[in-house]
Amino acid sequence: MKIYIDGNYYGKEDAKISVFDHGLLYGDGVFEGIRVYHRRVFKLKEHIQRLYYSAKAILLSIPMSEEAMCRAVVETCRANGLENGYIRLIVTRGAGSLGLSPDSCKSPSVIIIANEIQLYPREFYEKGMEIITAATARNLVNAVNPAIKSLNYLNNILAKIEANNAGCEEAIMLNSEGFVAECTGDNIFILHHGKIFTPPLASGALYGITRNTVIELAEEAGYEVEEKNLTRYDLFISEECFLTGSGAEIVPVVMIDKRVIGEGKPGSVTRQLEAKYRALTRVSGEPL
Ligand code: PXG
């Protein structure tokens, strides 16, 4: 494996950063998770744009242009002969002194790892998955806005632990008002009376790239999609529910907090969108 760090490639054992990097000391940095399908990087420009927006929001100046970053991602995939897989792109504040101020960090570090992807079990796609609601509330949008894909993912990790403790792989996170925001690493959608709903971004969700793609595909297929504040009740009485994410793609949900969703099996609209999404991943993306 060849890992890109600040313009050079290192083997897995030699790919190291300073223990004084504020990415490690404070979670001060940003990241992206990107898929490669059939030697094409899926939605590369969208991911790079979100990375730069995350960086801008935390006053982190990435030491290369967006175009150069796109090229570095493509080069790293080529160097690793990646055909299908996962790219983890990380920008840390860089090495500094032991103190919160980022002023001591002279140069941010750019790290690109191109690897295999860990997927949800096949069964989740065939039969649907069961999820719970976490007691850990989503970070406030006026604190560290969840729209920032920062290296501090503890909020999500605590909810993920709750999911795992309940025997699940995902958990719904509510915002401080009690509205559904998203899951720990996936956005959420429901179908109700033939219409598709997903929480608005202001609810404390990540601006999911899969979310955007699915909204486009659903509208193309003639569905009405509305961004609306949703409560747990809205989820419980929905006909269909599914999650979206670069890793998960589209995964059906058939049980939430022990309430059966719809008929307890993946719904036809979810299936239709899954097929459209799969078809898109077969033909689109930045060629390697
Ligand atoms: N919400 C959160 C909190 C996320 O972290 C998504 C939604 C879905 O966004 P995209 O743009 O991927 O549709 C994410 C994305 C990982 C991993 O390594 C995490 C994500 C994606 C891929 C891998 O755990 N999170």
Per-residue model confidence as pLDDT tens digits over 178-200: 999 999 999 999 999 999 999 99
**33 C-alpha to ligand 1 centroid (Å):** 7
Instruction: Judge if 111 and 84 occupy the same domain.
Output: yes
Atom of ligand 1 at shortest range from CA of 35: 22
Q: Is the pLDDT of residue 264 over 90?
A: yes
Give residue 40's domain range.
2-115
Instruction: Judge if 20 and 141 occupy the same domain.
Output: no
Per-residue pLDDT tens over the stretch 213-244: 999 999 999 999 999 999 999 999 999 999 99
**Average pLDDT score over residue span 122-149:** 97
Q: Whole-model pTM above 0.75?
A: yes
Instruction: Judge if 67 and 144 occupy the same domain.
Output: no
The predicted pLDDT at position 101 comes to 97
Tell me the CATH number at 79: 3.30.470.10
Instruction: Judge if 131 and 103 occupy the same domain.
Output: no
Instruction: Judge if 111 and 127 occupy the same domain.
Output: no
Instruction: Judge if 126 and 40 occupy the same domain.
Output: no
**249 C-alpha to ligand 1 centroid (Å):** 10
**214 C-alpha to ligand 1 centroid (Å):** 14
Q: In residues, how long is the chain?
A: 288
Cα(277)–Cα(208) distance, integer angstroms: 14
Q: Is the pLDDT of residue 167 over 90?
A: yes
Instruction: Judge if 151 and 41 occupy the same domain.
Output: no
The predicted pLDDT at position 256 comes to 98
Residue 209 located in a structural domain:
yes
> Distances in Å between the alpha carbon of 174 and those of 75, 159, 196, 199, 281?
39, 10, 19, 10, 31
Domain final position from 85, 115, 145:
115
Report helix, strand or coil for 88: strand
Instruction: Judge if 149 and 9 occupy the same domain.
Output: no
**Average pLDDT score over residue span 35-49:** 97
**Average pLDDT score over residue span 140-150:** 96
Measuring from atom 14 of ligand 1, which residue has the nearest CA?
185
Domain final position from 115, 140, 172:
115
Residue 168 located in a structural domain:
yes
Measuring from atom 4 of ligand 1, which residue has the nearest CA?
185
Instruction: Judge if 101 and 185 occupy the same domain.
Output: no
Measuring from atom 8 of ligand 1, which residue has the nearest CA?
245
**210 C-alpha to ligand 1 centroid (Å):** 9
Please, which residues have CB within 8 angstroms of residue 261's CB and are 6 or more apart in sequence? 128, 235, 236, 238, 239, 240, 241, 253, 254, 255
**Is there a contact between 273 and 242 (Cβ–Cβ < 8 Å)?**
yes
Instruction: Judge if 134 and 208 occupy the same domain.
Output: yes
Residue 27 located in a structural domain:
yes
Cα(251)–Cα(214) distance, integer angstroms: 12
Residue 288 located in a structural domain:
no
Instruction: Judge if 160 and 82 occupy the same domain.
Output: no
**146 C-alpha to ligand 1 centroid (Å):** 11
The residues lining ligand 1, judged by C-beta closer than 6 Å to any ligand atom, are 33, 156, 182, 185-187, 206, 208-211, 244-247
Residue 8 located in a structural domain:
yes
Name the residues annotated as catalytic.
149
**Is there a contact between 90 and 110 (Cβ–Cβ < 8 Å)?**
yes
Tell me the CATH number at 231: 3.20.10.10
Instruction: Judge if 140 and 87 occupy the same domain.
Output: no
Select from 117, 206, 273 the residue to mutate for testing ligand 1; criterion: most ligand atoms less than 8 Å from CB.
Answer: 206
**Is there a contact between 61 and 94 (Cβ–Cβ < 8 Å)?**
no
Select from 46, 117, 187 the residue to mutate for testing ligand 1; criterion: most ligand atoms less than 8 Å from CB.
Answer: 187
The predicted pLDDT at position 118 comes to 85
How many structural domains are present in the chain? 2
Domain final position from 99, 115, 131:
115
